[in-house]
Each structure stands twice: as structure tokens, then as C-alpha cells.
A and B are shown apart, each in its own frame.
Chain A
Amino acid sequence: MLRHILRRLLLAIPTLWAVVTIIFLVVRVVPGDPARAVLGDYASEETINAYREQMGLNDSLWVQYKNYIFGLLQGDLGNSLVTRTPAWDQIRNVLPHTIELSIAAIILALAVGIPMGVISAMKRNTTIDYVTRVVSLAGLSAPAFYIGLLLMYIFAAKLGWFPAVGAGDFSDPWDNLRRLVLPALTLGMVETASVTRMTRSVMLNVLNADYVRTARAKGLVESRVMREHALRSAMVPIISLVGIFTIGLIGGSVLTEQVFGRPGLGSRLVGATRQFDYNMVQAIMVVYAFIIVIVNIIVDIVYTYVDPRVRNS
């Protein structure tokens, strides 16, 4: 297992290099001057040039790339072109909020989506199944920002149960939890719909499998058939889905973050892109790539515990 993880980590190096290089080039292809974006339309050309010189933007593309890669090899993600503070400091500040929101949404999705999917599969073509399918389809179809605003209107503006915006301080878990509820519900709803549909689909296949029929024929109670034979087998593709969700949520929570005024990696990336903050965009993409590698490794490890075929191979 250790050898497998090390191999995956080594394979990640060329992936990271390719990502870094592509992003380095892509952000510079879009017409626009970071100096103008940072200094505003009032700044004179002299001021703009002075800034470009200070930040190394007048260097050739090759020199900029070389400096960036050398910095990266020493663990330096560079400084934001806007705030001029280390990019990592900003990422470090927002990353916990993104991870917190993603985990909350995944827990919600699994806690609600798996039982709903299982029940829907067990009660195939009954009213429960139809309702579950329609609700999950609606969850998939509704844009996250719309769900967010709707929840905010009902539970914050009208009922006053939860704060409408902001992210809590981690030193105050209670406040943090209250501020997490609506964004997590928003993000979790969409993911719940996906998990429900995926679970139902997988369970329908599994329920028709020979080993499930055999288990029933042996006289096992239905709950045990479900728990130990059907669901366990169905978990393998669901784990894959969760891995993909995790990666997607970390990057795809932008709209939820923006509606609820929460800091986060996704919205920081959007902000940096709009401000032509090349260094910040590059730094965030490196962190993204790293997260993807780590999540994939975790999914691999979980696989080995859930699927005996992988464990024994």
C-alpha cells in the first residue's frame, strides 16, 4: 500500500508541473494588464510601469516562468499581485472554510442521499420511488445560487433562524456552525440529489445480482441482505462518486460562497482571475492539483478496505 501511495505521489509531480505550466501560460494569454487592474484607471502610465517593474511583470515570459518554477521548488507560491502578501497566506486563510463547507455538504449528501437511494430502489415503481426521483431531479436542476437565495430569504430574512451571510470564526464553533447551516444545505442539496440517483441506480443492479438472490434464498432477513450484501457492494461506485464530488465541491462551491459571502478557494480564484492576479491564480491551481492528488489517494485507500478484490490484488 505504501509503495502504491509513493508511486501515486511520484506520478503527481509531472502532473503538477504540466498544470503549473499550462496555467502560467493561459493566464497571460487573456488580454489585460494586472498593473492596470490593481492600480485603477486613475494611475498614470509612469505609475503603471513602475509597478510592472517592481512586480517583475516587465521581465520576459521565460524569466518570469523560471523565477516562478524556482520559487515553487522552494515551496514559495509567490506573492499576490494585488495585496503583495504571500499567496499561501491567503490560501491558508480561506482553505479551511472551503474544506469545512465541502465536508458538511458531503456528509449531508451521504446521510440523506444513500438512504433515499436505497429506499427508492427497494420500493421501485412505487409512490416513494416516484417522489424521490422527482425531488432528486429537481435538486439537480435547481441552480445553487437560487436555492441559496431561497433558503436565505426563508430562514434568515423571514424566520431569522440563521445568519444570512459570512463565515464564523473557528474559535467560536457555535457561531461557525450556525453560519455553516444554510450554505451546507444549499451545496448539500444538489449533491444529495446526485447521490440519491446514483445509489438508486447501483442498488437496482445489485438487487438483481445472483448473490443477493442467494442470500435471500438462504433465509436472511431483508435488512441484513441489504446491509451486508447489497449496500456493501454498491458502496464501491458510490465511493468513486464521493471522490469526484469532493474535488468538484472544493472548486465548484463558488456560487454558494459568493451568495453567502463566505471566503473560499473557489471564489478567491474567481476574484484573482478578474483582477489578473497571475500569481494568485497559479498558487490556487497548484493547491487544487495537490488536493486532487490527495483525494484520489484517499479514495484508493478506501477502496482497498471496501472492495476485497482490490485488497487481495
Chain B
Amino acid sequence: MAITRRQFTQLIGVGAIGAAVFKAPAAFAQDGGTLRIAMNTSDIGNLDPHFASGSQDRAIVDMIFNGLVRYVPGKSDEFEADLAEAIPDPVTNDDGTQSWTFTLKSGVKTHATDGADSADLTVDDLLFSFTKAANAETSAYAGNYAGWAFAAGDGENEFVVTVPVPISTSLFLPNVANYSGGYVIPQAAFEAVGAEAFVSHPVGTGPFAFVAHTPQLSVELTAHADFFRGAPQLAGVNVMFQADATARELALQAGDYDVIYGVSESSWAQRLDDLDGFTADVFGVGEVVWLNFNIEHDILKDVKVREAIFKAISRDNYVALSGAPVGEKVFSVVPAFLPGGLSEEDAEAAGVNYQQDIEGAKALLAEAGYPDGFELDMIASEQTAYRTTSEVLQEELRQIGITVNLEVVQHATMHELIRQDRNAITIYIAFRPTADIYLTQFFSTDGGVTNFSKFTVNDLRDQARGELDADAQAELWRQANIEILQNYAGYGLMFQNQVFVRRDEVDYGHELTAVVQLYPGINETTSMG
């Protein structure tokens, strides 16, 4: 068949367009040194670090802000100086208060933003930031700073934090570290942006500076060249939002992402790890899953009923939801990886390592006057971890004759309803950085509506707060945990480690043991080969 010159030219044209369109994944390959991390959400929540609570928000603010001290990258139990020159020793004052005097490093530059040029961070900024963090109207973490006072010190760049009674380093440092209220917000930048806009336009001093937020798509960060520990190796970070796990996985394989938030299942993590060119990281800190038993509930106020329910439970069933090593057992509400948590041996020695015993549970229920069991209503969240935990509990209790009527609601609705005492047994899943916070929020009168069990360990908690020796303090926390278990008020089931998958070229720049900010930890040392 003959072909005319015109037809030939058209063919060449079509071929060229086709080649351009279908050419090569190279056109989608990562652009230079910008790391793209996909989080399991559809958008940001609140990027004011003193309000940030969602995992995507915590990850973003961690890259933008600093604390006076910081968790050693990749670890959740060691601190080192960050904005401060060093971690000071506390001084007990004549009036019984305790002061910590920090010296702010010189030459820490704030990010530039409209209306506020980059400037040296000052003690006034520290005063502003901590005062904001301690105010319930401007911070969700104000409760951590109750009674604390902040002032400029006598020396140059000195900043003094005074707490009402002496507390241990382990209780003090998390509140001045790179977590929640401890993140330092530069005053001029905050005022230039405005409190309302700061929620989606944060300005700090960290290795990466905020550039733009594209709703439902991404938050773009750029390297802060004047970062005080040195310019970041990455050109920037794009935090991208993709709520669908399968789509995240496919986009990672397609080269659209460099790091993705994974699925909390060991088999999934192993499958991704087996793929060429990808590594699945399973690391702490885990979110603890535990049960709170309302000891004032009409039926559950009988200790035999609560004991029966304890005997119906097997931690293995809950760990199986994720599989090891993503899921691990815990033996108290405070996990063993925090000081004050019970290990299996601790629980065994204290006689509170309860085992599943269905027949024993039935006998106890009969003794309590419920030989045929009873019905319980339970509000459950639609979120997978909550829903599956509820379903396992429902099945375990069915075996001893207790019918659990589950009502699955939106997550925020669940939080609202459980604070109205709608559940006799409340499932809670959370990470808190210290045993004190777990005990205060959930097992003390200070917890208010989150004291779901109505059981309190105020005395032991207070004794531990006043204990300056770390070992003795941890022992008091352990005693509090044992008391909770002995009274069948709280039952630690498991914790779920974090799972992230990265391209092999991504090097976080640190070991990955546990990160309290709930992501792998990206800083100036992170690079891509």
C-alpha cells in the first residue's frame, strides 16, 4: 500500500505525541531532593503545634518547629538539647518550687513570612510561646503546664521555667521538648500571620519552612537554609494526603511517593518489604489499646462481673488483628516501653496477668446473679482499630453469655458519646508520652469526663509526681497500674506499632526505634540517594 507524504507526516506527528504522552515514568520521577510522604488522611487538621493532634499534623509541625530540648531522633526515651545550649539541672527554690534555667542558643533563625522577616529567636519568643501553650484558650495542652511560670533569666539568653513542686526530669522534659506544647512559636511570625490563619500557615524555626497548603492534596515545605543545625540535605518535603491504603501503595510503586503511611498489619508490611526497592519500617511508639470498666455502672459495679469479663478476654485475639511485630501485647494501661508500665513478668509477679478462662468467667457471672448473662450497649467508632477491637470483645463476651449491642458511629461522635458515660466498657486507643499523663487523664479525678472507669489512683500518681528518683517513680507508677488491674478497672490489651514504607533510596538519617511524633522523623539529616 502506497503512503503519501502527507500521511507520512501525520504518522510522524501522531507518533511524536504518543511518545511524549506515554514516555516514561521518568517524567513522574521524584523531583530532585524533595521527599514526598503520603499520609493516611484527606487533609490537615490544625497546624498550630499547640493544637496539632492528628498524626499528619504532628508530622508536619515536627518538621517546622523546635523545642528547647528534643527527643533524640528515632528514639522516644532519650532527650538532648535543641534550641537550648544544654539540658540544665533543676534547682529547688526556698519557697519549695523548682526552677530550670535554659540558655537559648544564639543565631537560631526563624522562618520568614509575609509581615515578619527571618530573625533571631529570642527569650521573648520563648516567653510568648510557653505562655500560649499554658493557656487553655490558645492551647490544647494547657493542662500539662498547670501552675508553671515562665520568665527571662538574669543572664544573657536565659529562660527560666518554674514548676510549683519539684518534679523529675522524666516528667519535666517532655513538656519542653519537640512535642505538643513544647514546640516554640516565634511571636512576630505568629502575630504577622494571625492566630486563625496560623492554623493552616505555621511558621517556626525548624529544618523545613511552610510554603503552601493545597487543600486535600498536600502541604509543601522547603528547606530552611539558615537552620541552626545546618542546611537540610533535602530540598523540601511534600506531605501528601491519600486516605486510601491501596492507592498509596500503588502510587508508591508508580514513583509518585517516596514514603507512605502503611497499614497496621504485619502481613501487609512484610509483603511491601519483599518488593524490590522498598523497605517497610515497623517502629514505636505504639498506640495503646485498652479497656476502661465503669465501676459505677449498674451491673459492672459488682467486682465479680468485672472479674468475669477479665476472664473472658485473651490478648492473643487482639494482637492477631495486626499480627506481630506490628501488634504487641501490653500488660497494663501504661505500656512497658514507658517507665511505669508493666512487663509480662511484672504482671505475673503481681498476680494481675489474667488469662482467658471461659468456664471460670461463667461461674463468676452465675455467682454474681447472672447465670444467663446480660446485655450491654456499646458505642463503637467506625475507625478500623476501634471497630475491630469492639467486635473481638463482643465475640469474647458472647462466649460467657453477655450480649454486646454495638452501635457504630463516626469517630468524633464516639468521642462525644463516651464522654457522656454511654459505655459501661470503653475502648480507648491512644499514645501519651508519660505514665503520669495516662494516669491523670484516665484514672484520676483530674481526668474529668475521660475518667471513664471512675476508678482513681490519685494518691499513687501524686506520690510519683513528687518522686525525683526515676526508679522509685517508675515503681510508684507500676503500683498504680497494678491497683487498676486488681480492681478490674482497666485492662491493657495491645499496642500497635507504626508502619511506614519507603523507597530504599530514602535515608532518614537516624535509627528508627520509636518516634513520639507518629511518623519516621524527617529532619536536616534525611536524604535521598
CA distance A71 to B415 in the complex (A): 31
Chain B, 141-181, CB within 8 A of any chain A CB? 141-143, 180
- Interchain nearest-CB distance for A56 vs B (Å): 14
Q: Cβ of A147 < 8 Å from any Cβ of B?
A: no
CB-based contact A263/B215 at 8 Å? yes
Nearest-neighbor residue (CB-CB) of A150 within chain B: B250
- Interchain nearest-CB distance for A273 vs B (Å): 8
Contacts of B25 in A (CB 8 A): 160-161
| Known contacts A46-B136, A47-B139; A160 and B217 CB within 8 A of each other | no
Interface string of B401-417 (1 = CB under 8 A from A): 00000000111110111
Interface string of A83-101 (1 = CB under 8 A from B): 1110000100110000000
CB-based contact B412/A32 at 8 Å? yes
Top 7 A-B pairs, shortest CB-CB distance: A40-B53, A160-B25, A37-B412, A164-B251, A43-B140, A263-B216, A32-B413
Interface of B is mostly: mixed
Contacts of A271 in B (CB 8 A): 42-43, 216
| Known contacts A38-B45, A165-B240, A165-B242; A33 and B251 CB within 8 A of each other | no
CB-based contact A261/B46 at 8 Å? no
Of the 9-residue stretches A116-124, A151-159, A190-198, A238-246, which lies at the interface with chain B?
A151-159
Contacts of A152 in B (CB 8 A): 247, 250-251, 254
- Interchain nearest-CB distance for A214 vs B (Å): 41
* Size of B's binding interface in residues, CB under 8 A: 59
Q: Cβ of A210 < 8 Å from any Cβ of B?
A: no
CB-based contact A160/B24 at 8 Å? yes
CB-based contact A161/B199 at 8 Å? no
* Size of A's binding interface in residues, CB under 8 A: 58
Contacts of B255 in A (CB 8 A): 160
Starting from the known contacts A30-B410, A84-B196, A93-B214, 20 additional A-B residue pairs (CB-CB under 8 Å) come to: A31-B416, A32-B410, A32-B413, A33-B415, A39-B53, A40-B54, A42-B140, A44-B142, A45-B448, A47-B137, A90-B215, A94-B215, A148-B247, A156-B256, A164-B254, A261-B240, A262-B217, A267-B216, A268-B215, A274-B411
Interface string of A280-309 (1 = CB under 8 A from B): 000000000000000000000000000000
Pairs A–B under 8 Å by Cβ, sample size 14: A32-B412, A47-B139, A82-B46, A85-B200, A160-B28, A165-B38, A165-B240, A165-B242, A165-B247, A166-B240, A258-B244, A260-B247, A263-B215, A271-B42
CA distance A93 to B215 in the complex (A): 7
- Interchain nearest-CB distance for B321 vs A (Å): 21
Contacts of B241 in A (CB 8 A): 261
Which of these, A30, A39, A164, contacts B140 with CB under 8 Å? A39
CB-based contact A258/B54 at 8 Å? no
Q: Which of B54, B409, B411, B449 has the most CB of A within 10 A?
A: B411
Chain A interface residues toward B at CB < 8 A: 30-34, 36-47, 50, 54, 79, 82-85, 90, 93-94, 145, 148-149, 152-153, 156-157, 160-167, 178, 257-264, 267-268, 270-271, 274-276
Q: Cβ of B246 < 8 Å from any Cβ of A?
A: yes
| Known contacts A44-B136, A83-B199, A166-B256; A276 and B143 CB within 8 A of each other | no
| Known contacts A258-B244, A275-B412; A50 and B53 CB within 8 A of each other | no
Nearest-neighbor residue (CB-CB) of B43 within chain A: A271
Contacts of B142 in A (CB 8 A): 44, 46-47
| Known contacts A83-B44, A166-B240; A41 and B53 CB within 8 A of each other | yes
